[in-house]
Amino acid sequence: MIRRGFQVAARLGHHRGLLGDPLILIFPAQFSRFLPEKTDLKDDALPDASWCLDMLSLDQEFLEKTKSSGWIKLPSFKGKTQPNGAVSGPCPPFSGCDTAHLSPDKGDCRIFTRCIQVEGQGFEYVIFFQPSKKKSVCLFQPGPYLEGPPGFTHGGSLAAMMDETFSKTAFLAGEGLFTLSFNIRFKNLIPMSSLVVMDIEVEKIEDQKLYMSCIAHSRDQQFTPTHPSLAGVFLQLQLEEESPQ
């Protein structure tokens, strides 16, 4: 089963480059996975009424950087909605995955961080990636459905958001595919519906593994980790790299 899992994943890594867009031609083929040329899928990484002012302004700042400093904004789709809007059927049966008890109309698979489609209630985020420096920034606003302690964000939702951002960054930076290990240290509680800025960097790539780090902080930190009142989370991740076949 694990071999089949890797085969499925490797197919994800193989895409032809897009024609007609000189920017896309510069980058490796895996970018086309995140930047489809034509799609009817709804991009969830666009601003909506629930975004706080900090998030809107930082989003605008990074959009400017996509024009001048080589940053790329990654669109974000819910998952398996077909281009004609139809929701796909049950997930394919893999060995060990007993879906017989699920009725066919309940097989709507969604990428976890886009599972909550109610505006402003779940994961509101957008990811920007800079290929030349192999770093990315995620602007994340956790909604009320991600509650842990009253009024604060669930630690697990933060871990999930980091895992998702790591996944995308690792894939684009070095074809990293699966999380091997994940270490997170919580320094402070994060209030719900506040902006969390995550700075991710690829530290090194060695022995088919990508080593990445992340610091999550509020906007006040202005991206410096040495601020005395730092409310941050420190993370290290090792990701196994699989080359496409």
Task: For the segment 126-155, give every residue that binds its own copies (CB under 8 A).
Answer: 144-152, 154-155
Determine which one of 54, 108, 163, 199 is catalytic. Answer: 163
Binding of residue 98 to its own copies (CB under 8 A) = yes
- Positive or negative, the CA dihedral 149, 151, 152, 154 is positive
Span near its own copies by CB under 8 A; candidates 15-23, 67-75, 106-114, 128-136: 106-114
Using the rule CB under 8 A, which residue among 20, 67, 101, 105 binds its own copies?
101
Tokens linked to 66: 């996509």
Q: Across the strands, what pairs with 142? A: 123
32 binding its own copies? (CB under 8 A): no
Tokens 């895996």: give the residue: 30
Task: Give me the residue label for tokens 């890594």.
Answer: 13
**Residues between 173 and 202 with contacts to its own copies, criterion CB under 8 A:** 177-186, 188-189, 191-194
Task: Please state the separation of Cα 46 from the chain's center in Å.
Answer: 14
CB 214 within 8 A of CB 233: yes
112 binds its own copies (CB under 8 A): yes
Best CA proximity match to 50, nearest among 158, 162, 194 = 194
Q: Is 230 in the site for its own copies (CB under 8 A)?
A: no
Question: What is the DSSP code (8-state) at residue 89?
Answer: -
Residue of the chain from 7, 47, 60, 94 that contacts its own copies (CB under 8 A): 94
Distances (CA, A) of 189 to 44, 99, 117, 216: 26, 38, 25, 12
Under rule CB under 8 A, how many of the chain's residues touch its own copies?
85
- Least Å from the CB of residue 43 to its own copies: 18
Minimum CB distance to its own copies smaller for 26 or for 97 = 97
Q: Around Cβ 215, how many Cβ atoms within 10 Å?
A: 19
| SS3 (DSSP) at 67 | helix
Residues 41-60 that bind its own copies (CB under 8 A): 49-54
Structure tokens at 176: 């990293």
Q: Which is nearer to its own copies, 161 or 173 (CB)?
A: 161
Catalytic site includes residue 207: no
Asked whether position 113 contacts its own copies by CB under 8 A, the answer is yes
* Shortest reach from residue 97's CB to its own copies, in Å: 3
